[in-house]
């Protein structure tokens, strides 16, 4: 994959056919081989090739890389209130961002169940005119299933096995329920009296309830299996359709390709991570061998008893939803009255339907060990069975990092801290067809972050994806509701660190006003990552290690000596603000920040940065961000008040503006005006800079 070489998508596809024709020998074979042509956000294709053909293709000079088709897996009524996004709070981010009004969230997942009340479009206005997507019809899904809420829906079957396609709807309709759950978590409308078997009864809604949804079904079957080729096609279409946010609750053996190109096009991408790692258990069955398999219960009288169940052989690789049903069936068959099921994760709400009517509860191994000790030291141990109840407020120690949450460091890119941030992902109540259902996982956390990104995009439409990410990461909390450091569950429990939660647990209201952001030119993403993977035309002697990318975090693999790292911050806060660095270094590491204080006095000067061949000095645009539009046209030439007030106007270098002028012509090129040193030595107030930026965006 790489940058597009042709503006016309058809020419891009033709170039892909030409490459395959040269490889396979005929146009007919090329047409039969190609599965997808990626022609909107980036250039590339998916094709059916033998191993030897793939190796030969990789040797062609116009091909950057060849990768096999990977298979990825799709990984509450109160979670948003817990995050501080109270629906009726007048001063919070939710209201300031107008509930995400008209922001388009693209959800790449297993589809959508459009009849769910969470996707009712009552009260919505016209679909934004900038939207270029479409509603694809198919099995049990017609054009009428799209609406002013679900404004687009597509589906992709290429690269997905026939076994996963079997039984699923050949349309955007959701079969596995995963996509419906994540979409409603991100942008579902306000629903009263939602519950799961009368648990957590209350108002269900998404984090950005007025956002629009664009659905891209690339995941199929009960396994929610997603082909890498289909994912790329979905991302390519989403870029062209005009989504603002991309939400991918997916994980697999490596990073999902194509997301970098979406970021380069100004789209904020939220992605859950799930690395296939082996967790080690120090526990075995402790109570009379009751692991609750058929052999351990055979011949034992447990009639009417509550049984403590361990799953030591399955715990490292099997989720409770897979091993719990067999344990329940075995206990019932042996006459048991209930069970206590020990596993890594401590959530059971989404598995209640598997308890088949008997009392059951899920505990982690630490609690199970205490229960086992109690049973071994008590002649007549008893268990009190109480009805299920809701526990809310300060009675709950939260947030905590769940045992199933994937941890860093990143294997592919150790110079980039992963994860970025933590978000609610345990017992999330959201839509499932025509009802509501609890589910847990990193898949549930991802739409929480995507929704917050949508709100920030609505509140700050000029912020780049890097600025939005920075605001979320730098304002996250590392302490729980009691003010003590967040715990990370697992074996053993421990205090969470950046490899558990990145910057911390997401705090939406604080993210709305971060003060400083770490912004990144999209080209830097591509330059740094491509050069990490191998030689590239974008690589040069100035390209450094990944930890030099202007991220809101620093990760250095195998630190052995002193390293100096630079970061550039942009003030998006008050005009007169002072920021002081506070350092809590990792054990055994000394950290010095220079300067230790940043003071803003309401003025900023854009200093010279580099000199072009003509000898004129160009400058870093500082806090004034760029725009992706190629040109703009006014009804007539217009004066810009901010330029009139600017000092040293003779050094203003706006393309299409005469040096010293304060007027913009009727038409001018603004594609790279603010990202290639538009202003040189110009002194502006923060207010004037903001005015100039908004004027440019308005065109």
pLDDT, tens digit (0-9, with 9 covering 90-100), for 513-549:
999 999 988 778 777 766 655 555 555 555 567 888 8
Backbone angles phi, psi at 354, to 5 degrees: -90, -5
- With respect to residue 541, please indicate whether it lies within any of the assigned structural domains: no
- Co-location of 90 and 61 in the same domain: no
Return the active site residues. Answer: 109, 178, 443
Is a pLDDT exceeding 60 seen at residue 697?
no
Distance CA 402, CA 441 (A): 9
Q: What is the CATH number of the domain that holds 456?
A: 3.40.50.200
The pTM assigned to this predicted structure is 0.66
- With respect to residue 547, please indicate whether it lies within any of the assigned structural domains: no
pLDDT of residue 675: 34
pLDDT band at 373 (very low <50, low <70, confident <90, very high): confident
pLDDT of residue 632: 46
- With respect to residue 397, please indicate whether it lies within any of the assigned structural domains: no
Average pLDDT (641-653) is 53
- Co-location of 418 and 338 in the same domain: no
Q: Specify the number of domains making up the chain.
A: 4
pLDDT of residue 243: 96
The string of pLDDT tens digits covering residues 477-500 is: 998 877 888 888 766 678 888 988
**Residue listed under structure tokens 């780049």:** 464
pLDDT of residue 573: 87
Is a pLDDT exceeding 50 seen at residue 279?
no
pLDDT of residue 160: 86
- Co-location of 299 and 353 in the same domain: yes
Average pLDDT (61-80) is 70
- With respect to residue 632, please indicate whether it lies within any of the assigned structural domains: yes
- Co-location of 64 and 125 in the same domain: no
pLDDT of residue 554: 92
Q: What is the CATH number of the domain that holds 48?
A: 3.30.70
- Co-location of 125 and 271 in the same domain: yes
Is a pLDDT exceeding 50 seen at residue 15?
yes
- Co-location of 362 and 496 in the same domain: no
- Co-location of 133 and 257 in the same domain: yes
Distance CA 44, CA 26 (A): 19
Q: Tokens in use for 196?
A: 């799961």
Of 337, 361, 377, the one marking the end of a domain is: 377
- With respect to residue 545, please indicate whether it lies within any of the assigned structural domains: no
Ranked by mean pLDDT, the top range of 134-143, 153-162, 216-225, 407-416 is 134-143
- Co-location of 47 and 170 in the same domain: no
| Cα dihedral 181→186→190→193 (10° resolution) | 40
* Kind and range of the H or E run holding 297: helix 294-297
Q: Which of 7-11, 443-447, 624-628 is predicted with the least confidence, judged by mean pLDDT? A: 624-628
Kindly state the percentage of the chain with pLDDT values over 90. 24
pLDDT of residue 585: 87
pLDDT of residue 559: 86
**Residue listed under structure tokens 């002193």:** 562
Q: Which of 66-70, 170-174, 292-296 is predicted with the least confidence, judged by mean pLDDT? A: 292-296
Is a pLDDT exceeding 50 seen at residue 123?
yes
pLDDT of residue 90: 81
- The pLDDT mean for the chain works out to 76
Q: Secondary structure of 37-75 in the HEC alphabet?
A: EECCCCEEEEECCCHHHHHHHHCCCCCCCCCCCCEEEEC
Distance CA 170, CA 155 (A): 8
Average pLDDT (187-204) is 71
pLDDT of residue 120: 94
Distance CA 555, CA 493 (A): 23
pLDDT of residue 288: 37
- With respect to residue 573, please indicate whether it lies within any of the assigned structural domains: yes
pLDDT of residue 175: 94
Counts of helices then strands in the chain (DSSP H, E): 19, 32
- Co-location of 603 and 692 in the same domain: yes
Boundaries of domain holding 356: 294-377
Of 51, 68, 85, the one marking the end of a domain is: 68
Is a pLDDT exceeding 90 seen at residue 628?
no
- Co-location of 243 and 136 in the same domain: yes
pLDDT of residue 674: 39
pLDDT of residue 137: 97
- With beta carbons less than 8 A apart as the criterion, state whether 481 and 302 touch: no
Kindly list the distances between the CA atom of residue 486 and the CA atoms of 398, 410, 489, in Å, as whole numbers in the listed order. 8, 21, 10
Q: Is 82 helix (H, G, I), strand (E, B) or coil?
A: helix
Selection from 164, 155, 82, 197 nearest residue 432 by Cα: 197
Kindly list the distances between the CA atom of residue 601 and the CA atoms of 118, 201, 575, in Å, as whole numbers in the listed order. 47, 50, 6
pLDDT band at 423 (very low <50, low <70, confident <90, very high): confident
Q: Is 71 helix (H, G, I), strand (E, B) or coil?
A: strand
DSSP per-residue codes, 196-244:
ETTEEEEEE--SSTT-EEEEEE-EETTTTEEEHHHHHHHHHHHHHHT-S
Is a pLDDT exceeding 80 seen at residue 182?
yes
- With respect to residue 653, please indicate whether it lies within any of the assigned structural domains: yes
Q: Give CA angle at 356 (354, 360), nearest 5°.
A: 75
- Co-location of 22 and 54 in the same domain: yes
- Co-location of 492 and 618 in the same domain: no
- With respect to residue 396, please indicate whether it lies within any of the assigned structural domains: no
Q: Is 151 helix (H, G, I), strand (E, B) or coil?
A: strand
């Amino acid at each position: 994959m790489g940058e597009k070489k042709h503006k016309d998508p058809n020419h891009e596809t033709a170039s892909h056919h030409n490459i395959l024709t040269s490889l396979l020998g005929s146009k007919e074979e090329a047409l039969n081989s190609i599965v997808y042509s990626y022609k909107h956000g980036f250039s590339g294709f998916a094709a059916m090739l033998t191993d030897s053909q793939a190796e030969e293709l990789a040797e062609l000079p116009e091909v950057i890389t060849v990768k096999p088709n990977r298979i990825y897996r799709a990984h509450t009524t109160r979670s948003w209130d817990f995050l501080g996004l109270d629906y009726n709070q007048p001063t919070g981010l939710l209201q300031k961002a107008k509930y995400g009004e008209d922001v388009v969230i693209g959800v790449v997942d297993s589809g959508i169940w459009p009849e769910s009340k969470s996707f009712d479009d009552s009260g919505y206005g016209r679909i934004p005119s900038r939207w270029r997507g479409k509603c694809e019809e198919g099995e049990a899904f017609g054009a009428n299933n799209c609406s002013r809420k679900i404004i687009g829906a597509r589906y992709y079957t290429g690269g997905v096995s026939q076994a996963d396609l079997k039984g699923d709807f050949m349309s955007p309709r959701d079969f596995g329920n995963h996509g419906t759950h994540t979409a409603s978590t991100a942008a579902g409308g306000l629903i009263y009296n939602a519950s799961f078997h009368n648990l957590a009864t209350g108002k269900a809604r998404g984090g950005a309830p007025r956002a629009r949804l664009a659905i891209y079904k690339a995941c199929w079957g009960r396994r929610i299996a997603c082909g890498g080729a289909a994912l790329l096609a979905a991302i390519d279409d989403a870029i062209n359709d005009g989504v603002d946010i991309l939400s991918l609750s997916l994980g697999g053996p490596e990073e999902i390709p194509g997301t970098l190109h979406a970021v380069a096009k100004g789209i904020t991408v939220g992605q859950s991570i799930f690395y296939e790692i082996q967790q080690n258990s120090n526990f075995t069955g402790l109570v009379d061998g009751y692991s609750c398999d058929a052999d351990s219960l055979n011949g034992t009288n447990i009639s009417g008893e509550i049984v403590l169940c361990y799953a030591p052989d399955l715990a490292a690789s099997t989720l409770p939803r897979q091993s719990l049903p067999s344990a329940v069936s075995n206990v019932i068959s042996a006459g048991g009255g209930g069970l206590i099921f020990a596993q890594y994760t401590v959530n059971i709400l989404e598995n209640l339907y598997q308890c088949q009517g008997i009392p059951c509860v899920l505990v982690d191994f630490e609690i199970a060990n205490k229960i086992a000790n109690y049973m071994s030291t008590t002649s007549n141990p008893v268990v009190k069975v109480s009805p299920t109840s809701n526990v809310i407020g300060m009675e709950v120690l939260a947030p905590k990092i769940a045992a199933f949450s994937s941890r860093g460091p990143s294997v592919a890119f150790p110079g980039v801290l992963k994860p970025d941030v933590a978000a609610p992902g345990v017992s999330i109540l959201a839509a499932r067809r025509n009802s509501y259902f609890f589910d847990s996982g990193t898949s549930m956390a991802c739409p929480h972050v995507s929704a917050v990104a949508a709100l920030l995009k609505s509140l700050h439409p000029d912020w780049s994806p890097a600025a939005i990410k920075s605001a979320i990461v730098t304002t996250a909390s590392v302490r729980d509701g009691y003010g003590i450091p967040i715990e990370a569950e697992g074996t053993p429990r421990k205090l969470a660190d950046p490899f558990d939660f990145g910057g911390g647990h997401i705090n939406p209201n604080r993210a709305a006003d971060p003060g400083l952001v770490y912004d990144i030119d999209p080209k830097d993403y591509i330059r740094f990552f491509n050069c990490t993977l191998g030689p590239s035309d974008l690589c040069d002697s100035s390209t450094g290690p990944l930890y030099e990318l202007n991220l809101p975090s620093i990760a250095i693999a195998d630190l052995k000596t002193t390293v100096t790292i630079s970061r550039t911050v942009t003030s998006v806060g008050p005009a007169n603000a002072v920021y002081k660095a506070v350092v809590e270094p990792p054990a055994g590491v000394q950290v010095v920040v220079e300067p230790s204080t940043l003071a803003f006095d309401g003025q900023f000067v854009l200093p010279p940065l580099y000199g072009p061949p003509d000898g004129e000095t160009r400058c870093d645009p500082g806090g004034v961000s760029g725009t992706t539009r190629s040109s703009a046209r006014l009804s007539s030439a217009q004066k810009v008040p901010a330029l009139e007030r600017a000092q040293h106007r003779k050094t203003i270098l706006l393309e299409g503006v005469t040096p010293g002028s304060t007027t913009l012509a009727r038409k001018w090129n603004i594609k790279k005006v603010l990202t290639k040193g538009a202003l040189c030595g110009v002194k502006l107030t923060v207010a004037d800079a903001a005015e100039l930026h908004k004027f440019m965006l308005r065109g």
